[in-house]
Structure 1
């Protein structure tokens, strides 16, 4: 009888140990979705600046989609400082995030930070602006060259051939500034007289100051292309203060710019849909971490918004 009891106790203990060693289906479901995909990741996102409505909307789109997909996101603001952005990316690496999204301040300078993430085995996705070096699994953006062409073609339509034109350039070294300028020049080169082209660093107050200087040097300017709406709005202030009637076309279709277009004060802006860029970046990140194949370039539609 004692021998039988001992055998029963041993058998019972074996069953308990086996049950404890098995993975709980409830724990599995907490980590994976119904399709077997993991739904919770730690995502780091370095934004060039949150002092620009476009990037605020972009970050909000990313944050909302990360929450919807059950992932944690840490957003850091580089404050338009390439050195700070490099430091921010190093911090995200030390935090052990699963993937890093980067909206570069400077496409050339960010390369070393991308390479640091590569060395740490952390995948990188660039957003809106590209990186010139380092390994990136995907780039999420509108086609800035095509957007520049849209702006150029519409400016030419409004101002006509031979018009005297100025261009406000974005941050030197950023792919967005380079690509938008390239597209614009492709559309208007040889057809208008570009009397001035200067950087205002995607900033409204700089756009105001630079436009004031442009008007003093070239009072005959008839049309302006600003590579983002913040610079366009600053330029518009300078133009109004000078009591001039000049065509102004921007890029991003921010709320402030759209209001000026509706009032008839700005001619147009190229709409980039920043919220959709942010959402697409998160979806691409989660897909990649789940082992899915992602495109090297994920384009987000754009359109010209005009009076």
Structure 2
């Protein structure tokens, strides 16, 4: 009987692993594997989602850099904003020989056990754009998200002359990015522009949720004169569509214009700035996220180490709980510099 139970348990484990592999395979694309540097350490890369123009641009840069740099990347996976899929994808990376893993966990609190598993297996992790709440990481490649919130606050506050009503389309508050941007924006408004009323609208990074909540807010406060979008990649189009429907999409400089600042720096935001539909955005460096995610993943697989301090690429590495973070520059973009060719949003198809 003991032998029968052992065989039954083993069969169950195999079935679970097979099911996880099957689920993960549905989210993988073998065409994204580099295959050009088989002697280099294998790198597992999970894309976080495909419903955002920003993350789609990041994916485009990743694939380009994988090929140009000869990175030995395993077939890319996409966890589609689902931590369960991310866990399964990472398991496949581990089973197929990854020597380092690149991920961008959207739920930064739920990934801790997976990080512990990878740490125990001595597989270093590079986290892009998001910093896990717990667990060890080799490097976080990220911009200063508190600075995003502060820059948005200062820009809106000055444009509105310190008075008015602002809708804040927040990201997911279970994400450190959503928390950092929201907390910094709130602190700045309270300190510098106390006469501006801020309406915080949590959206879980979902454009349809943002649109629905903004529509309800406009019905209650038709005199709203400012909007802060924490992610232009998911909020821009639904927000502009709603304002146009309500006949509130008036160009900058015209009476009744709602001042809008965003975060991401995608080409669509730049076009909206040129048209006067929105006023500014803070450009997240999708190109540098891809470049340095691969750089640090290869370095980690080769056993290299880094220390806090200034880098040779205009950023600063800082110590964080569980590892290090390379804080890349993220400039404010307005009509004055929207055509700057050094901005990645002007160089992507």
Q: Same fold by TM (over 0.5)?
A: yes
CA contact (8 A) 1:125 1:138 kept: yes
Q: Does 1:272 align with 2:284?
A: yes
Q: Does 1:293 align with 2:305?
A: yes
- Structure 2 gaps, min length 5: 1-36, 249-256, 308-323, 336-349
Post-superposition Cα deviations, 1:232-259, rounded to whole Å, max 9, x if no partner, equal 3322222222222311111001111111
Q: Does 1:241 align with 2:242?
A: no
- Count of residues in correspondence between the two structures: 271
Post-superposition Cα deviations, 1:59-94, rounded to whole Å, max 9, x if no partner, equal 222333233332222321111112222222222222
Q: What is the CA-CA distance between 1:195 and the residue it aligns to?
A: 4.2
Q: What is the CA-CA distance between 1:139 and the residue it aligns to?
A: 0.6
Post-superposition Cα deviations, 1:246-283, rounded to whole Å, max 9, x if no partner, equal 11111001111111111000011100120111101111
Q: Does 1:78 align with 2:106?
A: no
Give 3-state SS (helix, strand or coil) of 1:189's partner: helix
Q: What is the CA-CA distance between 1:292 and the residue it aligns to?
A: 2.1
Q: 1:143 — aligned with what?
A: 144
CA contact (8 A) 2:229 2:260 kept: yes
Counterparts of residues 1-307 of structure 1 (less than 5 Å): 40-73=40-73, 74-190=75-191, 191=193, 192-229=195-232, 230-244=234-248, 245-295=257-307, 296-307=324-335
- Please, what TM-score do these two structures have when normalized by structure 1? 0.83
Q: What is the CA-CA distance between 1:169 and the residue it aligns to?
A: 0.7
Post-superposition Cα deviations, 1:87-142, rounded to whole Å, max 9, x if no partner, equal 22222222221101110110001112111211222111111001111111111011
Q: What is the CA-CA distance between 1:156 and the residue it aligns to?
A: 0.7
Structure 2 CA distance for aligned equivalents of residues 61 and 281 of structure 1: 11
Structure 2 CA distance for aligned equivalents of residues 275 and 102 of structure 1: 16
- Structure 1 gaps, min length 5: 1-32
Give 3-state SS (helix, strand or coil) of 1:176's partner: helix
Structure 2 CA distance for aligned equivalents of residues 95 and 151 of structure 1: 43
Q: More displaced, 272-281 or 175-184?
A: 175-184
Q: What is the CA-CA distance between 1:301 and the residue it aligns to?
A: 1.2
Q: More displaced, 55-64 or 164-173?
A: 55-64
| Bigger CA radius of gyration | 1
Structure 2 CA distance for aligned equivalents of residues 143 and 279 of structure 1: 17
Structure 2 CA distance for aligned equivalents of residues 299 and 195 of structure 1: 28
Give 3-state SS (helix, strand or coil) of 2:241's partner: helix
Post-superposition Cα deviations, 1:136-190, rounded to whole Å, max 9, x if no partner, equal 1111011111122111111111112131111001123111111111222232225
Q: More displaced, 273-282 or 203-212?
A: 203-212
Structure 2 CA distance for aligned equivalents of residues 160 and 106 of structure 1: 36
- Please, what TM-score do these two structures have when normalized by structure 2? 0.73
